[in-house]
Structure 1
């Protein structure tokens, strides 16, 4: 703008007075509009069941807050600051869809992010697919073998990344009789299905003596435990989470159900759960979870900075929030704009250099190779810690090239 004003002033003596004032007024009129355009934010519309999943929501938000802090500290996206408009989308597909529509129509979100419940994720994915709005979600609870859900939906975590490595772990155990329990919705049924398929492939001799699917958030834990006891399993697969998981653990302990048994449980090793019931665990728990992180190596600055700002170590939900937003930012930068088609195409191509290594999307099924830590839980006086763990990249389970 200064360049144009300087040009007009230099040419002033060679132009009629009225022309000079018209041009000068035009430049002055454009200046505020151009300044406003320069500071117009890139808007991310975020939704999550923050009330229903309080502990997980706090951690997820820490992750995306850190990603936003990083990008804005480095000048934003394409010269624009990043603004997040965050909503609690409740626990029903109808409410989730209403929130998504509000974020797009009223808040003018360029990209949507977040979600928790499978039914809500699917409702928002159907909407964003039809409206051609990029949508990067924490979970995808459809089978990766069926391919991408639509051209605009991408997921950081897949059910396969949790259940398949645990089945590999379980196949090495000297047990044959398995009882299985998981919540009665898309995530629970898929994670149980994938575990069964993989374990049976590796160990044809195993027998599944029971399958239970309690309603999510409404488990009759004592009744479920009594039903499983009757089947005399040697090992239990539990896909339960949140309050259902803690209720199941306590009901099982009261009846000595877990004593001398192996329990395989995706998500049970997350700190949000080990802080609640970790010290109460009985039996041998093989889980996916959160190890104690090291502040050495190339990721040291990230870990040290995170601990300083949040006074805690990052965990799986933190990483998920962080990676969702890092994918969005990298895609917008690669696309050179917030054009939805260009951003969706870029999401298939970007590679993130992260504290966990290189993370990318599979262009065929739109899942990332963000993996999980598999190990054994060791109770402590106040909690439980993940020991003998190994990080399992999800790429081998998702048909990455």
Structure 2
């Protein structure tokens, strides 16, 4: 098997022999996040890393919240309107059920012994990337069916309650309208006697400002990435949990097939660097927002979930793993849900060890390369 870290000499020879005089190729990268957001920052890191790793042969032009919005991304990549897109698979439940099941299995983090809130997103993003590439042929088949190729996942911090008034006790949630972005959060809301509401990421601000929803279940940094900082007054952490793992740079399959091995390697290396940048920005951003709240520099106040809400959430999670598996089997025909949960538990356990001593995006990117991408056969992957 050809390894990514063994291709440099061979790919360089091919380049010198056949493409030395070619003009630089430019790929269009669309994402439904606004300029200045973490995804926008990561996209620019990606573009620069791709340019450097390809020796200037391959360039990326970024389109923040313009060429495609979040709901248009899957079709936009499939049609070739964009060569690369940041794909939020939960917005397309019937197209990516195996991938979404793995993501929603993130509730297992609430069952892990001795696991603090810190770095949970970094942990799960890496574990899920490893799972998709090495353990989930069904995930890759559903990507292929939509004419795209997975590169690397990047992750939010754990999801919290971001509200226009305090929702701290279990009783505070009764009949509260909760914006959700996946079936786990919908089931959790119903179990807490709240009302789940489906609103796309690009419509959250309007829904919150008009009182259509009381809370957004979302990672705290994304409250500010999507411009809701002036509306959210109270943030409750510790519940409901769950991590959103996005495919940072999903590549149109025809675009991928038309790239040389050197350019494919440049894309994977760039995606690893950018995914690490975004995941670490989420982690560091959460800590910065806590500090700004403490100093009164932002409107929102942070609350720890009350024992009544924590206990209810843990009781829910203990039974919901089986519900999750049954839901995906009955709704989407996913027959191997138990195996997915077991594989994700194993990957989480493995990556808890890998992350010891990791403190920077460079550290994390190197781990992606060493522990996952070094085993990718670039001649056959995504074909």
Normalization by structure 1: what TM-score?
Answer: 0.38
Normalization by structure 2: what TM-score?
Answer: 0.39
Between Structure 1 and Structure 2, the one with more strand by share is: 1
Higher relative contact order at CA 8 Å, sep ≥6: structure 1 or structure 2? 2
Between Structure 1 and Structure 2, the one with more helix by share is: 2
